Amino acid sequence: MPTGPSVPVLQVLAPDGQRNDASAEPAEAAYLAALTPQRMVAMYRDMVIIRAFDREATALQRRGELGLWVSSLGQEGAQIGSAHALSPQDYAFPAYREHGVVAACGIDPANIFAMFRGVDHGGWDTEAHRCHTYTLVVGGHVLHAVGYAMGEALAGQPDGPHGGAVIVYLGDGAMAQGDVAESLVFAASYQAPVVFFVQNNGWAISTPTEAHVRVPLARRGEGYGIPGRRVDGNDALACFAATSAALDAARSGRGPGIVEAVTYRMAPHTTADDPSRYRPASQEQAWAARDPIIRLERHLRQIGALDDVAKAAIDAQGDAAAAHARAACLALGPPSVDGLFSRVYATEHAQVAADAALWSAHRPPVGARCRPPPKPPHNLSRCPPPQARPRRIGTKPTPPPRRLGLPPHLRSAWWGRCGRRWAMRCGPTRKCW
């Protein structure tokens, strides 16, 4: 894995599952020392469940049940490892691929389907779960996260409900956005308690990272005065340790930080993408050997925290989560119009209440369908007569070939047997067609 100029990489678990804490800094080593086997098993369980959910969601999109899906395949270690570092007071701002983070915040991942199925704008109780909704605008949510962190620093108490830090998830492509540059300026200027967790998965859709990044992204904050840390993004323990240390620094008033998790997007950018057109299969095979779930499973087996029986039980939980996701997706009905009035203001608003009452009074019956207005009749008076233009004796008009199988409103602009081009609106009514 490339390390870049003078940028060390934190790696705790090797691909074969062997653990080595030598590359950890003192603050990170303290969190690694306190990591129990039960906590690591919980991380492994969350990674298995979210991968099963993600594969089921991809299958649902291929069947036409979802309009689009953004897979997190291969990035479970970065997401679950960092999410396990959050405290109840912290607040997470995901982008659109962080299904593992959403699940770790206590949200049913099936709630994501409403947005990708097109029946809702998507959302949940953000204050109850301390997790913002998805943002499809690349880099746009980073500004929101920094602003929220500035508000937390001004209004919160260290031990109160608003005394935590903020973590915002973004990709390597988003780091090239102007919104992110502005966010770094404000975060550094106000020493906002925010951690920028960058999932460098190697590709900004079809653009490789090395095409637009000349130095490791962990060094991007140096010009702003923000420290950075680069970790192996397929190592859940390394992501947990680095994120825990960065969040602790933010909570204690030492300012923002950047964590760059070098991972790989094993699936297409979205289900509308075809990665075989821009990256070789050999690259995918090389990164498949660094699978984050297999790596943590090997380590748990080495320390005796996981056996075949426990693994089968966790796999069964993943299958159950996939079945639940499938049933939840198929049970989604059409959107309710009442949500247009109930989700506008936090408290009751007089004008919105009046609009809701007007809608209730004129609500169409259940099952009623709107009928389109009848089409106006053709204006035959504007159609030229068939023999309005005489032709020379001995000649014969050669109209273009007739194109069958098209609707009348397309055929009407062409030539008829009379040799004259008709008006668009009245061509099909002539007898000479």
Residue at 336 is within a domain: no
In the residue annotation, 265 being an active-site residue is answered as: yes
Q: How far is residue 67's CA from residue 53's CA, in Å, rounded to a whole number?
A: 17
Residues 170, 52 share a domain: yes
In this predicted structure, what is the pLDDT of residue 223? Answer: 93
Do residue 322 and residue 417 come from a single domain?
no
Catalytic annotation, pick one of 117, 269, 299, 326: 269
Angle at 210 between CA 24 and CA 291, to 5 degrees: 50
Catalytic residue among 39, 62, 278, 363: 278
Q: 323 with 408, same domain?
A: no
Q: Could you tell me if 72 and 99 are in contact, meaning their C-beta atoms sit under 8 angstroms apart? A: yes
- Which residue segment(s) compose the domain that 142 sits in? 9-330
- pLDDT at residue number 6: 67
Q: Compute the distance between CA of residue 84 and CA of residue 182 in angstroms, rounded to an integer.
A: 28
Residue 297 lies in a domain: yes
Count Cβ atoms below 10 Å from residue 297 Cβ, excluding itself.
Answer: 18
Judging by beta carbons within 10 Å of its beta carbon (0-12, 13-18, 19+), is residue 280 exposed, middle or buried? exposed
Q: Are residues 130 and 46 in the same domain?
A: yes
Query: What pLDDT, on the 0 to 100 scale, is given for residue 380?
Result: 54
From first to last of its 433 residues, the chain has per-residue pLDDT tens of 444 456 899 999 999 999 999 999 999 999 999 999 999 999 999 999 999 999 999 999 999 999 999 999 999 999 999 999 999 999 999 999 999 999 999 999 999 999 999 888 778 889 899 999 999 999 999 999 999 999 988 886 555 555 789 999 999 999 999 999 999 999 999 999 999 999 999 999 999 998 999 899 999 999 999 999 999 999 999 999 999 999 999 999 999 999 999 999 999 999 999 999 999 999 999 999 999 999 999 999 999 999 999 999 999 999 999 999 999 999 998 877 877 888 788 888 999 999 989 888 887 776 666 666 666 665 555 555 555 555 555 555 555 555 555 555 545 444 444 444 444 444 444 444 4
Where a domain ends, among 315, 330, 345?
330
Determine which one of 84, 97, 99, 265 is catalytic.
265
Task: Answer yes or no: is 291 within a domain.
Answer: yes
pLDDT at 120: 82
Residue 167 buriedness (CB in 10 A; 0-12 / 13-18 / 19+): buried
SS3 category, 368: coil
Indicate whether 149 belongs to any domain.
yes
| Co-location of 199 and 289 in the same domain | yes
Same domain assignment for residues 307 and 431 = no
> Could you count the other beta carbons within 10 Å of the beta carbon of residue 119?
15
Calpha distance 179→142 (Å, rounded)? 7
DSSP secondary structure letters along 248-315: HHHHTTS--EEEEEE----S-SSTT--GGGTS-HHHHHHHHTT-HHHHHHHHHHHTTS--HHHHHHHH
Q: Are 402 and 311 within one domain?
A: no
Let me know whether 193 and 300 are in one domain.
yes
Instruction: List Cβ neighbours of 36 (8 Å cut-off, separation of 6 or more).
Output: none
Residue 218 belongs to some domain of the structure: yes
Distance of CA 60 to CAs 46, 53, 142, 218, 248, Å?
21, 11, 30, 36, 39
Last residue of a domain, one of 330, 349, 368: 330
With respect to residue 355, please indicate whether it lies within any of the assigned structural domains: no
| Torsion 423-425-427-431 (CA) sign | negative
Tell which residue, 299, 283, 282, 343, has the closest CA to residue 122: 343
Active site residue 278: yes
Please say if 269 is a catalytic residue: yes
In a domain, residue 200? The reply is yes
Maximum Cα–Cα distance for the chain, whole Å? 103
Structural domains in the chain (count): 2
Tell which phi-psi region holds residue 28, choosing left (phi > 0), alpha (psi between -120 and 50) or beta.
Answer: alpha
CB 430 within 8 A of CB 416: yes
CB atoms inside a 10 Å sphere around CB 371: 6
294 phi and psi angles, rounded to 5 deg: -65, -40
User: CA angle, 418 as apex, 413 and 421 as ends, to 5°?
Assistant: 25
CATH number of the domain where residue 173 is located: 3.40.50.970
